[in-house]
Amino acid sequence: MNTDAYYKRIKSLFRPEQLRLKRAIVVGAGSGGSRVATELGRLGLPLTLIDLPGEKLEEHNILRHELGYASLGKSKVEELARHIHNLNPETPITCAELDVAMDRVEFKRLIQSQQPDILIAATDNYESKHILNEDAMAFGLPVVGAGVYDGGIAGECYITRPGGACFACLVTHLQLQDLAPKRSARDIDYSNLELKELQSTAALNLDIAQIALIQSRVVLNLLLDGATDLIGVPPEVNLIVFANRRVPGHFERPLHAEFIHFDRVPDCLVCSSQCASEIDREASRIIGALNS
Ligand SMILES: [Zn+2]
């Protein structure tokens, strides 16, 4: 790989070495996560890719996934790493098959070993995002998450930072679940394909990719930390809602983004100072147990 030639067209925007000492953990290697990981990985950002144990690319994934038929029946995270390495052979990538909702100790162990600068929530349900939120608060990590509303009409990209509004605060304000697909992690039987299909968000690839690119941009902006501003909105913005199309009553303008800031909810059960310190103590206890 000729690094100078490879990065030639972006060198006026930022220096690739600004990303080489950072790391992002991407939770979810589905249609959104695969796209975010690819966009960031091609720029050389070290990545840790996580998806559910045994999660393989199936034919119904391909219409909306970064991977294609060559990866059919193969591990999503392993194939995604191969795909990214085809675009940038020098990107450091670690793969893990892990259910972050079910195996929280292992997820904490992974965070501790990988030392990420940011968590990327690319799962397709609110329950796992709540769990990521709690772990991010405990480790003092920012999270950039995204979701596509049912029908692909729009999507959201949220940013949480230590000390600011957490995901639970944002959800309390917005009740965006009303527009998200209805499901419960407890109800999902990952071995039951038919049920999984029923619970999958109906959306086109172009609906999902639009939101995933916004998510990628936000992650990049945070990691570049002011060296290059790829968005140009105030840093306190913690929610971007993008309308893919006009939906009277919900979104009056198509292809339009709203930039929103929400304060912390004072009595938020996750990030209020009392609870946060309790979570910190719990994280310390678990880390202590892991090290002993
Ligand atoms: Zn909160």
Ligand 1 centre distance from Cα of residue 238 (Å): 12
Flag whether 1 is in a domain. no
**What is the pTM for the complete model shown?**
0.87
Average pLDDT over residues 117-138: 93
Flag whether 4 is in a domain. no
Domain count, the chain: 1
Flag whether 20 is in a domain. yes
Ligand 1 centre distance from Cα of residue 267 (Å): 8
Ligand 1 centre distance from Cα of residue 129 (Å): 13
Ligand 1 centre distance from Cα of residue 251 (Å): 26
Flag whether 2 is in a domain. no
User: What is the rounded distance in angstroms from the CA atom of residue 134 to the CA atom of residue 256?
Assistant: 31
Ligand 1 centre distance from Cα of residue 3 (Å): 42
Flag whether 7 is in a domain. no
Average pLDDT over residues 44-53: 98
Alpha helices in 200-236 (DSSP H): 205-224
Flag whether 6 is in a domain. no
Using CA atoms, how far residue 37 sits from 148, 183, 203, 218, in Å, is: 17, 25, 20, 13
State the chain's mean pLDDT as an integer. 88
Ligand 1 centre distance from Cα of residue 254 (Å): 30
Tell me the residue range of the domain where 92 lies: 12-291
Ligand 1 centre distance from Cα of residue 101 (Å): 19
Structure tokens that stand for 156 in this block: 């959201």
Flag whether 237 is in a domain. yes
Ligand 1 centre distance from Cα of residue 158 (Å): 13
Q: What is the pLDDT, as a whole number, of residue 226?
A: 83
User: What is the rounded distance in angstroms from the CA atom of residue 122 to the CA atom of residue 24?
Assistant: 12
Ligand 1 centre distance from Cα of residue 277 (Å): 13
Ligand 1 centre distance from Cα of residue 163 (Å): 9
Bigger pLDDT: 226 vs 161: 161
Residues lying with their CB under 5 A of ligand 1, a single-atom ion = 166, 168-169, 268, 270-271
CATH of the domain at 181: 3.40.50.720
User: What is the rounded distance in angstroms from the CA atom of residue 121 to the CA atom of residue 132?
Assistant: 7
Share of the chain above pLDDT 70, in %: 84
Q: What is the pLDDT, as a whole number, of residue 286?
A: 64
